[in-house]
């Protein structure tokens, strides 16, 4: 059964939270796909993953680079998934896929300070429920830890 998690970003931006979650993904031995909406955002996320911490390295590539099938983390704005991900990160309003079965986990991340992003997440939650699927809702507490709220 695929776990579907909604991450409500309020205290930290995507660029601070995503790399940490990707590190945890690699620790599990999983492959990840990060799906965004535009080529510009693919480039921005790619740069973020290269530069987020001097002491850490996240092996990744963005769509269009050679041999995407061997990458443990792939960033794309397309629907292709050549790296056969275990986990799918949906950012910047990327919609839930029609078929969730291929994934161990789907993480939908949205900016809680952006009204359009909030509305998009609410729509995705309703879509999920209309399909008879369950999801969990996570929010950061004052200490920066993630708490399950629903």
Q: What is the pLDDT of residues 35-83, one digit of tens each?
A: 999 999 999 999 999 998 888 889 999 988 889 999 999 999 999 899 9
Q: Which of 40, 135, 150 is nearest to 96 (CA)?
A: 135
Count CB neighbours of 130 within 10 A.
8
Q: How far is CA 97 from CA 10, 110, 122, in A?
A: 25, 16, 16
Instruction: Give the bridge partners for 62, in sequence order.
Output: 75
Q: Are 88 and 104 in contact (CB under 8 A)?
A: no
Domain with 66, as residue range(s), is 3-148
Counted domains in the chain? 1
pLDDT at residue 122, rounded to an integer? 96
CATH value at residue 13 = 3.40.50.10110
3-state SS class at 39: helix
């Amino acid at each position: 059964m695929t776990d579907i998690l909604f991450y409500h970003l309020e205290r930290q931006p995507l660029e601070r939270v995503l790399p940490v979650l990707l590190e945890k993904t690699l620790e599990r031995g999983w492959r990840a796909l990060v799906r965004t909406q535009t080529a510009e955002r693919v480039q921005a996320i790619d740069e973020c993953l290269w530069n987020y911490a001097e002491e850490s390295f996240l092996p990744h590539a963005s769509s269009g680079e050679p041999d995407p099938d061997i990458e443990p983390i792939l960033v794309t704005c397309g629907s292709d998934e050549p790296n056969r991900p275990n986990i799918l990160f949906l950012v910047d309003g990327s919609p839930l896929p029609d078929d969730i079965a291929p994934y161990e986990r789907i993480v939908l991340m949205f900016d809680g300070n952006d009204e359009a992003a909030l509305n998009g997440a609410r729509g995705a939650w309703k879509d999920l429920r209309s399909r008879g699927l369950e999801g969990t809702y996570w929010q950061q507490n004052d200490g920066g830890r993630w708490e399950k709220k629903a």
